[in-house]
Amino acid sequence: MMYKRFSLFRVIAFLIVIFNSNFVLSDQSLEDDNNVIRWAGCGITKKAFMAELAAAYQEKTHVKVIMEGGGATRGIRESVALKIDIGGTCRMPLPEFNHSELYSTVHPVAWDALAVIVHPDNPIESFTTQQIRDIYLGKINNWKQLGGKNAPIHLYVRKSKISGVGYAVRQYIFQDSGIDFQTKYKVPSSGPLEKGIEKDPLAIGITGISSARKRNVKIAQFDGKSPTYENLRDGSYGLYRPLYLVTGPAPSQKVKDFLLFATSDEGRKVIRSTGTVPYQDALGLMSKMVIYGFGVK
């Protein structure tokens, strides 16, 4: 009888321990969730400012920002679907392509120049708007036509027409979001595009300056201007676009706090330290922009 009572006591004690352990784990999980922000999206946005901004925010608040890539489209759509807390995007929402993007909210944080890049050994230093148009349309397909050697041009582009860079190039250079580029060198994201140009002496492509300057590539002039910090800030370099953080329609308080930090004086100082122009530092650029987002055919 004593043995049965002792066994029953052990079972009850064991259940109490399990219950308390689960309670602690649940409480810890809640605490961890409140101290983690999940971010995904545009790789150029990450390289432009997000990694440094996240590190500064974690040091200040002990809230950790976990970051993944996936491109601008993922950043927009997964923030709306609440799969992530914040997205990163280098294009506006395009609900005409996917209705869910209508419910996203974009928060402009910085400016990024679109840079024409070639292999470091390429002797050509500058391109005009018309030359870039002709390269993308296949009218210029040999470097000899531009004063280079007699060799084919390998044009690297993004596969998706609504990727951040792919959509921006179509709008800024062609004012036509549906145009097809004449090349077989199509890649899934900006990373492979940049790596391809690093290795291919005959390559050319367009990417964000924020990631291009971290690669072993030549950054060419565009219409006689280089995509420097000052040329971007004062608008003399004409090929640029905003970089955004994006949320669903009702962001949580921890997300609002991070957005507030990103646009504060402290956050803008962090962004400047990366060589990226904060959005508020160059508000005049918006008035010079071609229409970006809705309404482009």
pLDDT score, position 33: 74
Q: Are residues 202 and 135 in the same domain?
A: yes
Q: Are residues 64 and 78 in the same domain?
A: yes
Q: Are residues 140 and 172 in the same domain?
A: yes
Q: Are residues 126 and 218 in the same domain?
A: yes
Cα–Cα dist 244/100, whole Å: 17
Q: Of 208, 224, 242, 216, whose CA–CA distance to 115 is shortest? A: 208
Q: Is residue 5 part of a domain?
A: no
Q: Is residue 293 part of a domain?
A: no
Containing H/E element for 100?
none
Q: Are residues 258 and 283 in the same domain?
A: yes
Number of domains into which the chain is organized: 2
Q: Are residues 50 and 151 in the same domain?
A: no
Q: Is 272 exposed, middle or buried (0-12, 13-18, 19+ CB in 10 A)?
A: middle
Cα–Cα dist 274/40, whole Å: 20
Cα–Cα dist 293/285, whole Å: 16
Return the bridge partners of 237, or none. none
Mark which of 213, 233, 253 sits at the end of a domain. 233
Q: What is the mean pLDDT of the chain?
A: 88
Q: Which domain holds residue 276?
A: 35-111+241-288
Q: Is residue 22 part of a domain?
A: no
Q: 124, 143 in Cβ contact below 8 A?
A: yes
Q: Are residues 117 and 99 in the same domain?
A: no
pLDDT score, position 34: 77
Which residues fall within 8 angstroms of residue 4, CB to CB, at 6 or more apart?
A: none
Q: Are residues 247 and 138 in the same domain?
A: no
Cα–Cα dist 229/269, whole Å: 14
Query: pTM for the whole thing?
Result: 0.81
* Greatest extent of the chain over all pairs of C-alpha atoms, in Å: 100
CA dihedral 126, 153, 89, 95 (to 10 degrees): 120
pLDDT tens digits, 249-264: 999 999 999 999 999 9
Q: Are residues 227 and 139 in the same domain?
A: yes
Q: Is residue 262 part of a domain?
A: yes
Q: Are residues 172 and 210 in the same domain?
A: yes
The domain spanning residue 64 has which CATH number? 3.40.190.10
What sign does the dihedral 281-286-290-292 (CA atoms) show? positive
Q: 185, 203 in Cβ contact below 8 A?
A: yes
Q: 156, 203 in Cβ contact below 8 A?
A: yes
Q: Is residue 76 part of a domain?
A: yes
Q: 207, 193 in Cβ contact below 8 A?
A: yes
Q: Is residue 254 part of a domain?
A: yes
Q: Of 198, 220, 196, whose CA–CA distance to 131 is shortest? A: 220
Mark which of 206, 233, 260 sits at the end of a domain. 233
Q: Are residues 97 and 146 in the same domain?
A: no
Q: 211, 90 in Cβ contact below 8 A?
A: no
Q: Is residue 2 part of a domain?
A: no
Q: Is residue 247 part of a domain?
A: yes
Task: Note down pLDDT in tens along the chain; length 297 residues.
Answer: 444 443 544 444 444 444 444 434 344 333 457 799 999 999 889 999 999 999 999 999 999 999 998 999 999 999 999 999 999 999 999 999 899 999 999 999 999 999 999 999 999 999 999 999 999 999 999 999 999 999 999 999 999 898 889 999 998 899 898 999 999 999 998 899 999 999 999 999 999 998 899 999 999 999 999 999 999 999 999 899 999 999 999 999 999 999 999 999 999 999 999 999 999 999 988 876 654 443 444
Q: Are residues 177 and 265 in the same domain?
A: no
Helix, strand, coil: what percent of the chain each, to 5? 45, 20, 35
